[in-house]
Amino acid sequence: MTGRVLEGIRAVEFGQFYVGPYTSEALAYFGAEVIKVESIRRPDPTRWFGSTGGPDPKIIILTDPNKSVGFNELNLNKLSVNLDLTKPKAVELAKKIAEVSDVIVENNRPGVLDRLGLSYEAIREVKPDIIYLSASCRGSTGPERNYAGFAPIFGSLGGLSEITGYADGPPAPPIGGRTDIVCGTANAFSIITALIHREMTGKGQYIDNSDSEVISCLVWDTIMDYNLNGRIQTRRGNKDDIFAPHDCYRCKGEDDWISIAISNDEEWRAFAGAIGNPDWAKEERFQDAYLRKKNEEELDRLISQWTISHTKYEVMDILQKAGVAAVHSFSSKDFFSDPHLKERGAFTEVEHPVIGRLTVMNPPWKLSATPAEIVRHAPLFGEHNNYVFGELLGMSQEEIKALMDEQVIY
C-alpha cells in the first residue's frame, strides 16, 4: 500500500538558505506537513536571489519573493505562513503551532530563536515530546558557536577544501549548495532516528548539529592518516592512493571529459583490449597496479591520446561493455538527454503559479512500498496563513485580519 511514511507528522521550519530548508524538504518528500515560518522583515534570502540565466548568468536581486527558482527547488511540498517574530503575539502564535507539531527545524545563528522566546526549553513546556533540531556552522556551544557559515565556509573548516583541487593549485571549497544539502541530509537522518526513539519511548529531544562537524565526519579517512601517522594529506586532483589510471581524460568536444578508474590487473587487461591493444599498453611498466601507479603521468598522457579521438559517450559505452568503470563528467545539460535517468524518472515538473512550469529533481531514492513524492511547488509567501491560523489554530477570519494589520502576521 503506498501510504506516505511521515503522514501525520508536522514540522515547523524557521529556516533560511539551504541547510534548514533542505532538512524539512526531505521530511516533506515523505508526507510530513512542513510549515515554513517566514516574515517580510526577515525573509529567507533565497527568495530574493535570481539569475539572468542563459550562457553567462549573473546574479540578480529579485523584487518578487515568489519568483526565485532556487527557492522553489529547496522548499517543495511545504506550506508557508508569515510571522514577524520580533512581536510577542507572533511568538505566541508560533508556540501554538509548535504545540500541534512534532518537529522543529531551525538553522539561524545560535541564540537568535532563544532570544525570541522560542528556545527548546520554551517549546518543551508546550510540547514535552517535541524534537527540536538547530543546525549552525559551528554548533550551538563552544567558543565559536556564534560563527556563521555557508557551504564553502564549513566545507573549509571541516577539512574538505584542503583536500580538493589541483595538486599544483589552491584549495577548492565545495561549489553551490552541495555541502549544505549534505548537512540537510544529516539533519533529516538525526530527526528520523529521534522520531523512531520517540515512537518507542514517547520522549522527544534536542539535536544540536554543527555543519562543519558533519563535513569532518565525511572526510575523516584523510584525517585518520594524521592521527595514525602524523601525515597531513592534501589535494591531488582526481588521483587515488593506488588505482591507476584514475583521472578524467579529455574527449572529442568542447569541454567533454570521461572519468576512468581501474582497480586491478583484470580490469586493466579488459581496458587494453577495449582500446585495441596498442603496443604501449603491453609495456612491462603498466602490467600491475603498483607499476601503473608509479608510471601514472606517462599512462595518463597515452590514454588521453586515445580518448581525445572519441566522444565521451562512445568511450563510456566501449569501456563499460568491457567491464571497465568509465563515466563521463555530466554537465547539467547531459542529465536531460540521459536514457538511464529518463527510465528512472529522476526529474519531474511542477506548475508554479507565478513562475510557470518548472523542472525539479525527484527525491533520490526509490522505495517499493512508500515512495517519496513531490506533490506541489514551493509555497508562495504566506500562502497558508488562513489554513494554519484558521483551520489548525481555529482563529476566526477577523482575528487573522487584525493580526495582519498589526503586522504580527506579516
User: Do the strands 325-328 and 257-261 form a parallel or antiparallel pair, or are they unpaired?
Assistant: antiparallel
Is 318 a binder of other proteins (CB under 8 A)?
no
What is the b/e burial string over 105-143, where b = at least 16 CB atoms within 10 angstroms of the residue's CB?
A: bbbbbbeebeebebebebbbeebeebbbbbbbbbbbeee
For other proteins, which is the closer residue by CB, 241 or 405? 241
Is 282 a binder of other proteins (CB under 8 A)?
no
Is 143 a binder of other proteins (CB under 8 A)?
yes
Beta carbon of residue 406, minimum distance to other proteins (angstroms, whole number)? 27
Q: Compute φ and ψ for 35, nearest 5 degrees.
A: -105, 115
- Residue in the structure block whose three cell numbers are 527557492: 71
For other proteins, which is the closer residue by CB, 246 or 384? 246
Angle CA(326)–CA(252)–CA(164) in degrees, nearest 5? Answer: 55
**52: part of which helix (H) or strand (E)?**
none
Among 63, 115, 121, 227, binds other proteins (CB under 8 A): 227
Report the alpha-carbon distance of residue 126 to residue 66 in Å, rounded.
33
Beta carbon of residue 57, minimum distance to other proteins (angstroms, whole number)? 5
Stretch near other proteins under the rule CB under 8 A, chosen from 98-106, 260-268, 387-395, 398-406: 260-268
Stretch near other proteins under the rule CB under 8 A, chosen from 67-75, 97-105, 373-381, 392-400: 67-75
Among 277, 305, 331, 396, binds other proteins (CB under 8 A): 331
Q: Report 75-134 residues binding other proteins (CB under 8 A).
A: none
Beta carbon of residue 392, minimum distance to other proteins (angstroms, whole number)? 22
Q: In the numeric block, which cell numbers belong to residue 97? A: 503551532
Contact 37, 95 (CB under 8 A): no
Q: Report 376-405 residues binding other proteins (CB under 8 A).
A: none
Beta carbon of residue 81, minimum distance to other proteins (angstroms, whole number)? 24
Binding mask 350-369 for other proteins (x = CB under 8 A): --------xxxx-xxxxxxx
Beta carbon of residue 17, minimum distance to other proteins (angstroms, whole number)? 9
Angle CA(314)–CA(315)–CA(319) in degrees, nearest 5? Answer: 120
